[in-house]
Amino acid sequence: MVRPRVLLTSSDVPSLGVDLLQTKCDVTIIQNEKSSREDVLQTLPGYDAVLITGHHNVNTEFLNIAGPNLKVISTISAGYDHLDVPEIKRRGIKVGHTPQVLSAAVAEIAVMLTLCAARRSHEGRLKLEEGNVKTTFNWLLGQDLRNSTVGIVGLGSIGQAVLVRLVPFGVGTFLYTGHSEKKAGKDLGAKFVSLDELLAQSDFVIVATPLTNETLGLFNDTTFGKMKKNSVFVNVGRGKVVDTDALVKALKNHTIFAAGLDVTDPEPLPKDHELLKLPNAVIIPHLGSATTKTRNDMSIIAAQNILNGLDGKPLVYEL
């Protein structure tokens, strides 16, 4: 029997996923940790399946070059805004991603950013480096999670995991917003409200929503202006959900208290970007799912999506 041919768009895939694919397929790996689009398109024609790393844009051009053999696409990510899903499915190609398995790791990062931004950790470090530490009683005071109101924008698997991890901190009220009320929200004791209500009432606003046409630029001058002056803004969703210039203004003008960001626009931020100069912004370079176990699990699921699709079975996580 001829084994299916699978292309990996970069070498930056844990070996567990690669090994799984190699049990049933002939695997070609573009030997680059961060391959260019030109590298991918040049190698692409004729494969039965493609495992996407690095958020390569899978659009009409990509699919035309791939040709009629392509049966399955699997992206090693929870987000899929880089995939033209309607066009992929219109061509009868199965397409999958790797959600759920990274929810715990991303939620841990959200909690870390929430605490660090609320307690002014970055600002404190800057003061240490400047030799400007004071011992006065009211110096560098932060915000409490205890008895606070936490609003979660996007109560999917990541949003739910964040909520569960914040419960032990003694949060007073959990709010969430989205398209509709969710059973999970009710089960977790969270109240469904409009976005405007959430912004007006929340001491902490945590964004865990995917990037869609609806959420693009959702946080802008208007939305930041509706938040409390003591509010802490945390984004573990997608960078483009936030208008970066509006966030810089909100932080500089103290429209909001602080921000904790795992994702930004642009990403990565240039080293001289204004956001990086702000003492009330805690920023890390998209490390949400960056644990050894999580990335191994993601690679296995991405590979299993492909094997299932080539076998005519439902994908583990199909879009």
Task: Give domain status of residue 228, yes or no.
Answer: yes
Which tokens sit at 267?
A: 């990403």
**Which residue out of 55, 82, 273, 286 is catalytically annotated?**
286
Residues 111 and 216 in one domain: yes
Residue ranges making up the domain that contains 55 = 3-77+290-309
Per-residue pLDDT of the chain (319 residues; tens, 9 = 90+): 789 999 999 999 999 999 999 999 999 999 887 889 999 999 999 999 999 998 899 999 999 999 999 999 999 998 898 999 999 999 999 999 999 999 999 999 999 999 999 999 999 999 999 999 998 999 999 999 999 999 999 999 999 999 999 999 999 999 999 989 999 999 999 999 999 999 999 999 999 999 999 999 999 999 999 999 999 999 999 999 999 999 999 999 999 999 999 999 999 999 999 999 999 999 999 999 999 999 999 999 999 999 999 999 999 999 9
C-alpha to C-alpha distance for 242 and 228, rounded to whole angstroms: 17
Task: Give domain status of residue 173, yes or no.
Answer: yes
| Site of tokens 């392509």 | 70
Residues 186 and 296 in one domain: no
Residues 139 and 260 in one domain: yes
Asked if 94 and 71 count as a contact pair (C-beta separation under 8 A), the reply is yes
Residues 209 and 68 in one domain: no
Residues 272 and 305 in one domain: no
CA end-to-end distance (rounded Å), the chain: 29
CATH number at residue 155: 3.40.50.720
The answer to whether residue 286 is catalytic is: yes
Nearest to 15 by CA among 201, 292, 202, 314: 292
